[in-house]
Amino acid sequence: MAIAAITLRPTTAADLMFVRAAEQAADNAQYIRQWSPERHLQACHSDDERHWIVVAENDQAVGYVILMHVQDADDNLHLKRIVIAEKGRGYGRATLEAVLAIAFGDLQAHRVWLDVMTHNRRARHLYESVGFVWEGCFREAAKTPQGYASMDVMGILRPEFMARQQPQGHPQPAPKG
């Protein structure tokens, strides 16, 4: 599958109706804790959080992303949420790649981590396919309408991300000294 062309732009108050609808959609709500419009706005205006709308080539919003702890002293950024309204079109992969490029580029992160419900196999597969590795499990850490769900912690380090960016067959030269 070809990578979908997307852009990320800062979320505004005018986007909140789309954001809330996307997180409340049946195929998303089972995996996402619902935030109030006020909490979303707080993230939009925070110096320590980034809240972006995912925009497809046709200028339509297809999802949103929240990245937290961008001012972390240890350079560990938390990918709090990625919500894609139109699944199966490559928007999730393209969004993850764009977020990681910003995190390890502009924001100079050393590590990006996330948590994902253990039973959310579709998301886990996507995260693994872009380089995230399993780091541990918060057992029964999320209270859901169905009971308690375990959360897997996954992360990717700057060297792992950078290694994936090298063209195949063109290894990076070894450092001197």
Question: How does pLDDT run across 60-88, given as a tens digit for each residue?
Answer: 999 999 999 999 999 999 999 999 998 88
CATH topology of domain 6-165: Aminopeptidase (3.40.630)
Q: From CA 120, how far away is CA 98, in angstroms rounded?
A: 22
Determine how many CB atoms are found less than 10 A away from the CB of residue 6.
Answer: 22
What would the pLDDT profile of 134-151 be if each residue is shown by its tens digit? Answer: 999 999 999 888 899 999
Q: What is the per-residue pLDDT for 176?
A: 55
Q: Where are the domains of the chain?
A: 6-165
Residue 177 has pLDDT above 60, yes or no: no
Beta-carbon-side half-sphere exposure of residue 152 (alpha carbons within 13 Å): 17
Stretch (H or E) spanning 83: strand 76-84
Residue pair 103/67 in contact (Cβ under 8 Å)? The answer is yes
**What is the tens place of the pLDDT at every residue in 24-59?**
988 887 888 889 999 999 999 999 999 999 999 999
Structural contact between residues 56 and 62, judged by C-beta atoms closer than 8 angstroms: yes
| Interatomic CA distance for residues 9 and 77, integer angstroms | 18
**Centroid of chain to Cα 156:** 12
Per-residue confidence (pLDDT) for residue 26, from 0 to 100: 84
1 has pLDDT over 50: no
